[in-house]
Amino acid sequence: MPHKIAPSRLELKGLGISSGVGFGRARVMAGSSLQLPQYGIEKDSISLELDRFDKARNSVNRDISNMMKRTPKRAPKEVKSFLEMFRQLVNDEMLRTGVERIIRSKLINVEWALVQYLEEIKKVFEKLPDSYLSERGYDIEHVVDRLQEELQGRSNQLRDTVHEEGDEVILVTSDLSLADVIWLTEYEELELVGIITEKGGVTSHTAVLSQTLFIPAIVGISGAREQIKNGQEVFIDSFSGIVVCNPTEEEKRDILTQVEEQEKQYSRYYRARRRVAETIDHHRLQLFANVAMCTGLEEVLHQGAQGVGLFRSEYLFLGRDGLPDENEQFEQYSSLIKTMGSRPVTIRTLDVGGDKILNQEARKNEVLLKDDNPKEDNPALGQRAIRFSLANPDFFLIQIRAILRASVKGNVRILLPMISCVEEIREAKKYIEIAKKQLKMRGDACKEDIPIGIMIELPGVAFRPTPFLKEVDFASIGTNDLIQYTLGVDRGNPTVAPLYEPYHASVLGLIANVIRHANRLNKPVSICGEMGGQPELTPFFVGLGIKELSMAAMQIPQVKEVVRSVSKKDCERLAKKILSISDTTTIKKVIKKFVEGCKYE
């Protein structure tokens, strides 16, 4: 009798986008690209195409409403918040006007117009320096894909794929839309314990939602659908980004122990949300949330955020057919501030360049923007953020006036991005004073003493921060750009992305330098990049004397749990030790050993 050959073990590496481990059977989704019709139309058919588009949007809206009604009571509040966000993208007037503009100007069918609209939007979003905002282009792509499915009469492929599954499932797919992830979590018969995708990024809504729902997820495994077979036993470790297919019996015993421990850990996270972020020896931290839109704020508060440490205002400007006027911006900021009540809200002024706001055609017609800006070969180091705002003062004044008007409704701070010299701070403050005078002349109320801060994200500023800190009321360390510029790494480039290293000794040294100088001057300073939400780095920041951290809302419970399990004195000794080490590998080992020794409640 022939022996049955055991399936061979396979290990793959990707990018872990949520904390946790999962173990189950693989369900591999086959690719399915829609064959979209492309044809010209007559003028008298324009209304017919627009009617088809509106019917598709209405159908998708009904589907979302049904999903919201069916969402189980046990589901986290964030699920409905994300569904509402998806619905807002479907109903976005920019989408409607953009598609209509293309249909009317090019006389083409709606499917083709959607394809061209998506190409326009992706060009705007994919080059954004802020990874969170660049990932929003993927959300719009998912919305367009869903509309295309509706136009073609296609049912939900994912729903058809998994409806017969009974075991614990590790889903393997090219990519998942926001609605797909929510549908999977509400589907009672499906025990989803992990997600593996070939595409996606650390700040996608799929990543954010998987963190919220504690679903381990790994993205960026090229060829995953070819290498992983249906029905294989798969272990997913989103801490390390490791996927193991067909683990050995010895590995499986260890895996089951990890899964059991994880269940206890999730219970601790849930309890931590409403507790104070205070160390054992009573060093208290404020944990804020990074926010890009005025929707889903209930989720932010639900996770225990004490305010908004970073509101990315640039989302109001991206991919539009026209700039938002002062009143529209005022309404958006007011909505944010009202929801947060008396909690602090830090609004960052525009942090992109002129080539990213509006679509290409609209930029040509916008009188507020200078049209003499040459095309830049390296826009990340070009006229963006505060440089763009100061070069376009009328545009800058509109945003400042809107923020100042909204500031009377709450506890608001203004944050200036990508500061490279003190002259930029002084010039920006002059415009803020001009905006105050303009509002007074109009009879509009505003807060006179609104705090003004800067993003410290350039090595030159982090190396010698004192002159900059003396000019402002507070500072926020933007670790994403600080790492990129310090190490000369474009993390969006897969060839060099592994060199993007938060644990690099030079990066940690610059952060420590800023905090040390800020504390000497008694200036509040926070960490607002992705490092701020990494629980493993929390003890290091506590040891440096940091009092504010800002992160994705879903990371707050984990960070809070770490804060409550350490003493400031122990963290100070850890920080001192880390700053004496020069190699990244050793730094990681020291931090890991410290965190593993924490005694959680």
Active site amino acids: 205, 528
Check if the beta carbon of residue 310 is closer than 8 Å to that of residue 345.
no
Enclosing H/E stretch for 169: strand 168-173
- Distance between CA atoms of 509 and 578, rounded to whole angstroms? 9
The amino acid at 401: R
Any idea what the Cα angle at residue 396 is, between residues 392 and 399, rounded to 5°? 150
Enclosing H/E stretch for 109: none
Mutual angle of helices 584-596 and 568-578, in 10-degree steps? 160
Work out whether strand 525-527 and strand 474-477 pair parallel, antiparallel, or are unpaired: parallel
Residue the block writes with tokens 């790494």: 489
What is the distance between the terminal CA atoms of the chain, rounded to a whole angstrom?
55
Instruction: Tokens for 420, please give them.
Output: 């490279």
Instruction: Tokens for 194, please give them.
Output: 């992990």
Instruction: Tokens for 269, please give them.
Output: 């996270």
Check if the beta carbon of residue 524 is closer than 8 Å to that of residue 474.
yes
Find residue 454's DSSP bridge partners.
Answer: 416, 475
- Distance between CA atoms of 489 and 537, rounded to whole angstroms? 21
Nearest residue to 460 via CA among 510, 509, 396: 510
- Distance between CA atoms of 376 and 356, rounded to whole angstroms? 12
Work out whether strand 10-13 and strand 242-245 pair parallel, antiparallel, or are unpaired: antiparallel
Instruction: Tokens for 244, please give them.
Output: 């193991």
CB count in 10 Å sphere of residue 437: 9
Q: Is 332 left (phi over 0), alpha (psi -120 to 50) or beta?
A: alpha
Transcribe 524-593 into DSSP letters: -EEE-SGGGG-GGGHHHHHHHT--EEEE-GGGHHHHHHHHHT--HHHHHHHHHHHTT---HHHHHHHHHH
Check if the beta carbon of residue 186 is closer than 8 Å to that of residue 71.
yes
- Distance between CA atoms of 383 and 34, rounded to whole angstroms? 39
Instruction: Tokens for 511, please give them.
Output: 């952060």
